[in-house]
Structure 1
Amino acid sequence: MSASDPIFVDLSETKPAEIESLCMKCHETGTTRILLSKIPHFKEIIIMAFECPHCGFRNNELQSAGAFNERGHTITLAVKGKDDLNRQLVKSDYCSVKFVELDMEIPANRDRGLLTTVEGLIDNAIDDLAAGQPVRKHTDEAIYEKIEQIIAILKSYQQGEPFTLLLDDPSGNSYAENKCLPHADPQLKLRWYTRTPEQQALLGLQPGHDQTPAEAAATEAAERLSHRAPTASEMVNDQGIPEVMSFPANCPSCHAPCATNMHVMSIPHFKEVVIMATNCDKCGYKSNEVKAGGAISEKGRRITLNMTDAEDLSRDILKSETCGLSIPEIDLELTPGTLGGRFTTVEGLLRQVHDELRERAFTEGDSATKDSKDKWGTFLSNLTAVADGQKFPVTLIVDDPLANSYLQNLYAPDPDPEMTIEEYDRSWEVNEDLGLNDMKVDNYENDTAAASSTDVTDNKEEST
């Protein structure tokens, strides 16, 4: 067994497990210590440390103990001073790291998974660059001087020089500490994105070749649903029973073949939505998601509801994956992407938020100070009081830049006196994060024809 073989350890164990492992440097027997731990506000991880008593070789490694996220993400951290150097970072095996101002990138395959800090990441970069400098000084002095300049800039970062750190992880399993929880950290920017086929193949989630017949059938089914004309209420068959379409897929957890069911319905006074559910018979994995159908709205929408009694908790709510949600009276603020798409009631959504935050709160370990425990205890108690209908009035704000979220109007079709709906223009930065700035849906046929004409001309010139 090598030092990198993952072994799962029971969370109830207080000490790391120790196993004998082969040292890859001197080929003698060393010791690997393995511990399954949980990072507050993140997830479970496996920490492994190897040490050889014969040659003194040491290394450590981190692996995620959970499945890949459904999407990849980028984390942008603005480091403004020395205090930010102590922020905890998790870098998965598939994560690349970029120092933006320096235009220097550490590729994903350069290091294994790491549990470190911002300062530790800088130290690793300096050590890697400095390793070959004595040889470069004699073989290529120009490159030696350039690398020395980069090292000097990295050392200035350690002294508090501001810079920007960008983590790009297609597995969605990397992490940067948020020091403002439960609020959004103004120095952290998290953006979720859909993985490309190449990234899916890199993660082993699908083969890196053309679509199989099953995958083609899934794609065709999705396209039919996306172009289906909206119905008055929902898709039904000839017998009036709601129509559910099923297409083959792979389980995100165990990768076994399973079915994803899709149903299209129209929410009164809103728009068409697609409900998707996956259930794996092999490992028991279940997931459900709601996506809005139709065209992209030209403006964003902010819905503000003054919740005054328990009846407001029973309102239906569609929270899209681009939607942010907040209740200022209890300091609750959810950034876009949290919890994904959900179609439930206000009470149901608040209880999901409570369960999610309770699992990720600083309640144990060295980081669990008395102040943090008291702060989280008060926050979760207030959240429970609102969900139980014991704390009113409060203000619920649903902010969706794509206007794909919905909150039930109990007085429809008349205006709701307790609800305010505001439309606003999206900023360029928001459109950039959503990928709308590069999207062209008008006159694209002309661009295609022009590109084809250019290709023909180029081919003629080459043949000539």
Structure 2
Amino acid sequence: MASLSAKNDSSNSSNTTAGGNEEFFRPVGETVQAIDDHTIQGTIPSSASEESQAIQEVESLCMNCHENGTTRLLLTRIPYFREIILMSFSCPHCGFRNSEIQQASEIQQKGSRYTFLVETKEDLNRQVVKSESCDCSFPVIALEIPHQRGQLTTVEGLLTEVIDDLEQAQPVRKYTEPEAYEKIEQFLASIKAMVSGEKFPFEVVVNDPSGNSWVEYSPGDNQHKWRKVDYFRTLEQNEALGLVDADANNDEQDAQVDDNDASNPPTISKDEVHTFHATCPSCLRKCDTHMKLVDIPHFKEVIIMSTVCDTCGYKSNEVKTGGEIPDKGSRITLKVDDPEDLARDILKSETAALRVPELNLDLSAGTLGGRFTTLEGLLREVYEQLDSRVFNESADSMEPERVERWRKFLQGLQDAIDGKIKFTVIIEDPLAASYLQNIYAPDPDPNMTVEEVDRTDEQNEDLGLNDISV
């Protein structure tokens, strides 16, 4: 199921923009249907309120001929995602046309990277929201689409636009640059093979430092097919988004005295909450991080960390495990056949993936970050985020069969939380840093197995272990 991700930012859980109202952002399907009804019936909106929900027209300057043209605005909400503004400009004087999308929500606390595996022709129809700060790539053909105007499109639409752009100059290039023409023809053939389905499977990667891009998720997608990773922006990315002034930030950091002398590191005790000054990963300003050492019986010591930034409002609660990197990862399998099993403590590290095959639930590594809670608490957090942030039946434009799949999935998840069904929890952690309580400890748990598993080359690369020299 969903590769939820670190999950996410609090701003993602709301379907209403700051200072906004849901009446201005109706689901895109509902809005289109209302416009179609007016067109077919030859009617006009019956009130100013209804008109404000439809397309608005604004006179604006054409940047091509510098005459006045018309910009049409549509405020809408995309299911699974958030509010956007669709913009279309046309000039009656020179014929210039342009369309783009703009986010109606704020820049997210983290950047996001989606990786989607296209395996069938139906996958080509997956929606893609591409903000103006987003880069898209197709690694199989080394194709990168740099950030430009915002778009609401599909995977096929991204490829088709590349084809149109490259083919536009091919007739001239055929005679002026024959070698370049031949190479581009070969490249176009590869892209067309992807669009026609002759070159399945292939991956598309959507990377956006602002966190405001998205690839459509469908129930049943596992972490192999659809995954999302949230990451902290670099200083350069924050500068590009206009979030920080590089000169001012450098001056501030130079003026600050490091309160934590590296030559005298603080001693961490189990009975005390430690506070130390750090740098906010979102805005790079000074903030406080609170930390407490907790000893988990029959496992290891972990550090619970909480960071709050008074400047930008960033909040983070995570669990960090210490110690050396083990030679192998771990796989924990628990058969939940009693409601009391839901009260077991669980530590899911930020490198762990979690699966529940009976529920078709598949959380990729990085999802929800590090969490120390109970099994019930973890499942409830997944349910709340999917229900409030992904599935909204009253404001959805999905096909009936897809709505039914979502309803069945969420009902199954709720039944698991309520202890009405039996299911299996599988936690795979390449760093063996996750834990699930053994209620029979120190004796073996008849319903739980803990195995050592070899890390794959891909996991070693993702964890940066291939670059470590010892």
CA distance in 2, matches of 1:69, 1:373: 28
CA distance in 2, matches of 1:126, 1:155: 8
Deviation of 1:98 after TM superposition, in Å, equals 2.7
CA distance in 2, matches of 1:16, 1:215: 50
Q: Which sits farther off after the overlay, 6-15 or 260-269?
A: 6-15
Instruction: Report the AA paired with residue 371 of structure 2.
Output: R
| Residue of structure 2 aligned with 1:353, choices 355, 369, 382 | 382
What is the DSSP-based 3-state SS (H/G/I as helix, E as strand, rest coil) of the residue aligned with 1:353? helix
Deviation of 1:125 after TM superposition, in Å, equals 0.8
Tell me, yes or no, if structure 1 residue 431 matches structure 2 residue 431.
Answer: no
Cα deviation per residue 1:362-406 (whole Å; 9 max; x = unaligned)? 6356742222222222221221222233x1432222222222222
What is the DSSP-based 3-state SS (H/G/I as helix, E as strand, rest coil) of the residue aligned with 2:428? strand
CA distance in 2, matches of 1:222, 1:303: 40
- Going from structure 1 to structure 2, the CA distance change for 1:36 and 1:157 (only over 3 Å counts) comes to same
Aligned residues: 421
- 2:205 is aligned to 167
| Residue of structure 1 aligned with 2:446, choices 417, 421, 427 | 417
Tell me, yes or no, if structure 1 residue 316 matches structure 2 residue 345.
Answer: yes
Deviation of 1:416 after TM superposition, in Å, equals 3.0
Q: Taking CA–CA contacts closer than 8 Å with sequence separation of 6 or more, which of the two structures ends up with the larger relative contact order?
A: 2
Return the TM-score normalized by structure 2: 0.77
Tell me, yes or no, if structure 1 residue 12 matches structure 2 residue 23.
Answer: yes
- Going from structure 1 to structure 2, the CA distance change for 1:312 and 1:224 (only over 3 Å counts) comes to farther
| Residue of structure 2 aligned with 1:244, choices 265, 274, 278 | 274
- 1:202 is aligned to 240
Q: Which sits farther off after the overlay, 36-45 or 20-29?
A: 36-45
- 1:279 is aligned to 308
CA distance in 1, matches of 2:66, 2:356: 59
CA distance in 1, matches of 2:359, 2:466: 36
CA distance in 1, matches of 2:404, 2:366: 27
- Going from structure 1 to structure 2, the CA distance change for 1:139 and 1:337 (only over 3 Å counts) comes to same
CA distance in 2, matches of 1:338, 1:218: 35
- 1:63 is aligned to 102
Kept in 1: contact 2:18–2:105 (CA 8 A): no
- 2:416 is aligned to 386
Tell me, yes or no, if structure 1 residue 125 matches structure 2 residue 186.
Answer: no
Return the TM-score normalized by structure 1: 0.78
Kept in 2: contact 1:99–1:105 (CA 8 A): yes
CA distance in 2, matches of 1:257, 1:26: 44
Instruction: Report the AA paired with residue 129 of structure 2.
Output: V
Instruction: Report the AA paired with residue 154 of structure 1.
Output: I
CA distance in 2, matches of 1:36, 1:50: 15
CA distance in 1, matches of 2:254, 2:358: 47
- Going from structure 1 to structure 2, the CA distance change for 1:412 and 1:381 (only over 3 Å counts) comes to same
Kept in 2: contact 1:43–1:360 (CA 8 A): no
CA distance in 2, matches of 1:222, 1:375: 55
- 1:307 is aligned to 336
Q: How does 1:39-118 map to 2 (within 5 A)?
A: 39-69=78-108, 71-108=110-147, 111-118=148-155
What is the DSSP-based 3-state SS (H/G/I as helix, E as strand, rest coil) of the residue aligned with 2:72? strand
Kept in 1: contact 2:330–2:450 (CA 8 A): yes
Instruction: Report the AA paired with residue 273 of structure 2.
Output: E
Q: Which sits farther off after the overlay, 193-202 or 379-388?
A: 193-202
Deviation of 1:196 after TM superposition, in Å, equals 4.3
- 1:297 is aligned to 326
| Residue of structure 2 aligned with 1:263, choices 287, 291, 300 | 291
Kept in 2: contact 1:8–1:36 (CA 8 A): no
- Going from structure 1 to structure 2, the CA distance change for 1:323 and 1:205 (only over 3 Å counts) comes to farther
Instruction: Report the AA paired with residue 351 of structure 1.
Output: R
Deviation of 1:221 after TM superposition, in Å, equals 5.2
Deviation of 1:431 after TM superposition, in Å, equals 1.6
What is the DSSP-based 3-state SS (H/G/I as helix, E as strand, rest coil) of the residue aligned with 2:466? coil
| Residue of structure 2 aligned with 1:32, choices 66, 71, 75 | 71
Q: Which sits farther off after the overlay, 21-30 or 10-19?
A: 10-19
Deviation of 1:207 after TM superposition, in Å, equals 4.9
Deviation of 1:64 after TM superposition, in Å, equals 3.6
Deviation of 1:16 after TM superposition, in Å, equals 4.0
| Residue of structure 2 aligned with 1:158, choices 189, 195, 202 | 195
Q: How does 1:385-404 map to 2 (within 5 A)?
A: 385-389=415-419, 391-404=420-433
Cα deviation per residue 1:154-197 (whole Å; 9 max; x = unaligned)? 23333222153442525144322334x24416444545555444
CA distance in 2, matches of 1:406, 1:216: 43
- Going from structure 1 to structure 2, the CA distance change for 1:15 and 1:307 (only over 3 Å counts) comes to same
Kept in 2: contact 1:301–1:424 (CA 8 A): yes
- 2:222 is aligned to 184
Kept in 2: contact 1:133–1:144 (CA 8 A): yes
- Going from structure 1 to structure 2, the CA distance change for 1:310 and 1:88 (only over 3 Å counts) comes to same
Deviation of 1:357 after TM superposition, in Å, equals 0.9
**Which structure 2 segments of 5+ residues have no match?**
1-16, 25-52
Tell me, yes or no, if structure 1 residue 375 matches structure 2 residue 368.
Answer: no
Cα deviation per residue 1:21-80 (whole Å; 9 max; x = unaligned)? 222222233333334433333343333222333333221222344455555454444434
Instruction: Report the AA paired with residue 160 of structure 2.
Output: D
Deviation of 1:439 after TM superposition, in Å, equals 2.5
Q: Which sits farther off after the overlay, 293-302 or 25-34?
A: 25-34
Kept in 1: contact 2:223–2:362 (CA 8 A): no
CA distance in 2, matches of 1:65, 1:188: 25
Q: CA RMSD in A?
A: 3.5
Kept in 2: contact 1:319–1:343 (CA 8 A): yes
- Going from structure 1 to structure 2, the CA distance change for 1:79 and 1:405 (only over 3 Å counts) comes to same
